[in-house]
Structure 1
């Protein structure tokens, strides 16, 4: 089944600014880290890891545009396609987990300041990032089998094999990663905001604490807005592909899945922009280094 022309146009319109602005914002955040932030912290370690993963994902987007334009005439090789798909999907879920770590780290720093020194350290943050990168990289085994074993790939980034859609283990792992992260981040954000409001000065509402609240909530909202539609669409499409629910709208669901996957990549832009302003704030107020 070919992807509708409307979906292809939507992807072209979305991916072009996501690619250019994503690289720009991530480069700005990274340059700020290296040239302006003099003291390394747990938050900056996670930010570097997140920027790195987002940037790797961004570099696959031009090829994703090409693949949808070529449809079933992909001629850049099966190994290259599987490598691109691996970079794309592995780094997306790596970014989700690093975003979770950023949220939990700031929750510990703000909500539990007395136990934070024993729970947080730059070395521990680096180890967590390394574990996440290595763990998600293990997913490469699955991405190299998305089109089936031993098959010559004629369409990259779509038309995955029947066995892929019947892989309940892969489906469960991806959905559990997102919804588990979403639940944890929602809890940590609510507790962090609650703590920040306790320290807000009633006579001066426009404090750094108030700006910290805005940053914390904005991070969560961006995460939810970007990733929730795709994982709901993936859930529905998985049920349809495995005949758990029956509908004549399979093509519509397929298009929705592609649109929401495209929308999810907007997070690469928002991450870079958000952390650039977080770092800019941190130069003005030490509290922001925890935020």
Structure 2
């Protein structure tokens, strides 16, 4: 009986310690860290597609692997547009925190950030589901990640892709970033944290516009080619090369997004530590003078 009682006590102690550690870990999370983790997961998903994409660039796939190819293509676009919407949500969250600090206490929370990330996954997965209809089942051996059927280049698909996949998030990011930069620069304080915040905003703008703008221009040009609006053979070859190069640049840059945000967050934390240290030193000096 004594051994059983001791075992029960040890089990209860272990459960309490696990619960305590879980609560401690949850306290360490912030809204920004949740968004950055979601961005890292999106980039990891994109990175997992690259070996298949590289293999498909030099090899044809058999017809019985068409479903696997559509599955990989779907998650490739889930990762890309999930990253786009996550970066846009980071910009919105930053805008609320900077421009509406009192309102932010009611709107911003770890629970809301987690809900937003889940909604991003649901939205992009449902929006990319038509990819399973983009291939002709009678085409035999095929090249995965290339050669979509005419369904994939229809006007409705491309308009939705360009408008909701790029232009709308880009507009949200640019507007929120401009407003946040104006607010930070309008403050008269020479706080190092303000300068770090401006650098964060410029970095996020570059991480979004540099990789995603060229590839969506290339997608639009390829749409014009597939719909016989550009007929010149040389221009068609240049556009085909442009879309491949721009998509590869977007892939590489996406994989660096989370790393970029990590170092930015690290810079902010170091700035906070320096600021606290300078404040404590100032207080010590003033006390000693008194």
TM value normalised by structure 1:
0.78
The 5-angstrom pairing of residues 253-264 of structure 1 reads 253-264=239-250
- Rounded to whole Å, the distance in 2 between the matches of 1:115 and 1:132 is 23
Partner SS for 1:284: helix
Number of aligned positions between the proteins: 248
Corresponding position of 1:138: 126
For structure 1, the 5+ residue unaligned runs are: 1-34
Write the distance in 1 (CA, Å) between the matches of 2:202 and 2:121.
26
CA distance in 2, matches of 1:235, 1:160: 14
For 2:208 and 2:253, locate their aligned partners in 1 and report how far apart those are by CA, in whole Å.
7
Helix, strand or coil for the counterpart of 2:270? coil
Displacement after TM superposition at 1:147 (Å): 1.5
What are the within-5 Å matches in structure 2 for residues 82-101 of structure 1?
82-101=70-89
- Quick check: 1:155 aligned with 2:136? no
Separation in 1, partners of 2:99, 2:143: 49
Q: Give the alignment's TM-score, normalised by structure 2.
A: 0.78
Contact map agreement 1:230 1:260 (CA 8 A) in 2? yes
Q: CA deviation at 1:201?
A: 3.5
2:206 counterpart residue number: 221
The corresponding residue for 1:278 is: 264
Long gaps (5+) in structure 2: 1-23, 274-290
Q: What's the CA shift for 1:38?
A: 5.5
SS of the residue corresponding to residue 244 of structure 1 reads coil
Determine helix, strand or coil for the equivalent of 2:102. Answer: coil
Deviation of residue 175 (structure 1)?
0.4
Between the aligned partners of 1:38 and 1:153, the Cα distance in structure 2 is 53
- Residue deviations 1:101-138 (CA, integer Å, cap 9, x gap): 00111011011112112222211111111111011111
Cα distance, 1:243 vs structure 2 = 2.3
Once residues 224 and 246 of structure 2 are traced to their aligned partners in structure 1, the CA distance between those partners, rounded to angstroms, is 17
User: Which structure carries more helix by proportion?
Assistant: 2
Q: Distance in 2 between matches of 1:65 and 1:154?
A: 15
Distance 1:180 1:153 in 2: 37
> Quick check: 2:193–2:268 contact (8 Å CA) kept in 1?
no
Q: CA RMSD of the aligned region, Å?
A: 2.4
- 1:251 matched to 2:240? The reply is no
Aligned with residue 175 of structure 1, among 143, 162, 173: 162
User: What residue is the counterpart of 1:13 in the other structure?
Assistant: none
| CA–CA distance in structure 2, aligned partners of residues 150 and 57 of structure 1 | 29
Cα deviation, residue 151, structure 1: 5.1
1:237 shift after superposition = 1.3
Greater RCO structure (CA 8 Å; 6+ sep): 1
